[in-house]
């Protein structure tokens, strides 16, 4: 059996008396597309922050590619091959699009010329090479999202954590984004953990889905089975989504 790429073991994260993540355990295989869903306040972004090293965990372990990364910080974890996007892209307003993406490429090279070459390559892959010299603030939301994705990809991850990457996009833009992510998976073999409120995107993209509510995992399985789970319906989806799926 192939070793997991990611193992989360009994992870807990507390902020004072608030238990944001409670005893969370799951695994991801290399190349897997895993969806993470749940209502607002379920603890999804906190979990991302714990996995990626932005928050120290209260207890439990995070094992990535066979290594215990629990005590490591984000800047130590990223070079190991784990990258993430954020709901709000914190880019520098003083840099062009290609220079923003170069920030990610500098994880792998110290050469400015090589970082630019790699950044330009990702902009071309994502279909926004013509924006390379623009300032990020000049771009529409859909293209800003792709710049954020390109910056994460430029770090050359084995696992990419996508935090509401479809937020603010219209249905046509979401459909195009799903196609891009599927091509990333097919062409690059990239594993992705995707948290998203756009259920159609999660269901179209994911091999498997896990569901959080009130800081706990409440369900796990194939998308078609998860959306019919009574506890998931009660906590998050609602009867109308299941009826639409049927």
Q: Looking at residue 145, what is its pLDDT?
A: 87
Q: Looking at residue 246, what is its pLDDT?
A: 47
Q: Looking at residue 27, what is its pLDDT?
A: 97
Q: Looking at residue 202, what is its pLDDT?
A: 87
SS3 state at 227 = coil
Q: Provide Rg for the chain, Cα atoms.
A: 18
Separation of alpha carbons 78 and 17, rounded Å: 30
Q: Which residues pair with 96 in a beta bridge?
A: 135
Distance (Å) of CA 38 to CA 17, 23, 116, 164, 216: 22, 16, 38, 12, 10
For residue 204, give the CATH number of its domain: 3.40.50.300
Pick from 156, 178, 202: which residue ends a domain?
156
198 and 170 both lie in a single domain? yes
Annotate 22-60 with DSSP letters as a single string: EEEEEEE-TT-EEEEE--TTSSHHHHHHHHTTSS--SEE
- Tally DSSP H helices, then E strands, for the chain: 10, 10
- What is the pLDDT tens value at each position of the chain, 246 positions in all? 678 999 999 999 999 889 999 999 999 999 999 999 988 889 999 999 999 999 999 999 999 999 999 999 999 999 999 999 876 665 556 789 999 999 999 999 999 999 999 999 999 999 999 999 998 888 888 888 899 999 999 999 999 999 988 888 888 988 999 999 999 999 999 999 999 887 788 888 999 999 999 999 999 999 888 888 888 887 776 554 544 554
Residue 18 maps to a domain: yes
131 and 231 both lie in a single domain? no
149 and 167 both lie in a single domain? no
51 and 164 both lie in a single domain? yes
Q: Looking at residue 95, what is its pLDDT?
A: 85
131 and 198 both lie in a single domain? no
Residue 181 maps to a domain: yes
The total domain count for the chain is: 2
Kindly give, in sequence order, each residue whose CB lies less than 8 Å from that of residue 165, ignoring residues fewer than 6 positions away: 85, 145, 148, 149, 177, 194, 196
Residue 86 maps to a domain: no
Q: What residues make up the domain containing 6?
A: 1-81+159-246
SS3 state at 168 = coil
Q: Looking at residue 222, what is its pLDDT?
A: 92
């Amino acid at each position: 059996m192939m070793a997991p790429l990611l193992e989360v073991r009994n992870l807990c994260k507390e902020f004072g008396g608030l238990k944001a993540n409670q005893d969370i355990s799951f695994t991801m295989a290399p190349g897997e597309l895993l969806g993470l869903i749940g209502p607002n306040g379920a603890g999804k972004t906190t979990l991302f922050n714990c996995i990626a090293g932005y928050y120290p965990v209260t207890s439990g372990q995070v094992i990535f590619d066979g290594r215990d990364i629990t005590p490591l910080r984000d800047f130590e974890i990223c070079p190991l091959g784990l990258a993430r996007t954020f709901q709000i892209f914190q880019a520098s307003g003083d840099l062009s699009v290609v220079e923003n993406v170069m920030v990610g490429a500098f994880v792998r090279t110290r050469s400015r010329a090589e970082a630019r070459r790699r950044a330009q390559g990702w902009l071309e892959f994502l279909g926004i090479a013509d924006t390379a010299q623009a300032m990020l603030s000049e771009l529409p939301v859909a293209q800003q999202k792709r710049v954020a994705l390109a910056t994460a990809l430029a770090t050359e991850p084995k696992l990419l954590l996508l935090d509401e990457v479809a937020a603010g996009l219209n249905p046509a833009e979401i459909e195009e984004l799903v196609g891009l992510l599927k091509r990333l998976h097919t062409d690059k073999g990239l594993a992705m953990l995707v948290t998203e409120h756009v259920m159609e995107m999660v269901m179209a993209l994911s091999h498997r889905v896990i569901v959080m509510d009130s800081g706990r995992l409440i369900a796990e399985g194939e998308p078609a089975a998860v959306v019919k789970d009574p506890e998931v319906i009660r906590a998050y989806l609602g009867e109308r989504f299941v009826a639409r799926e049927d």
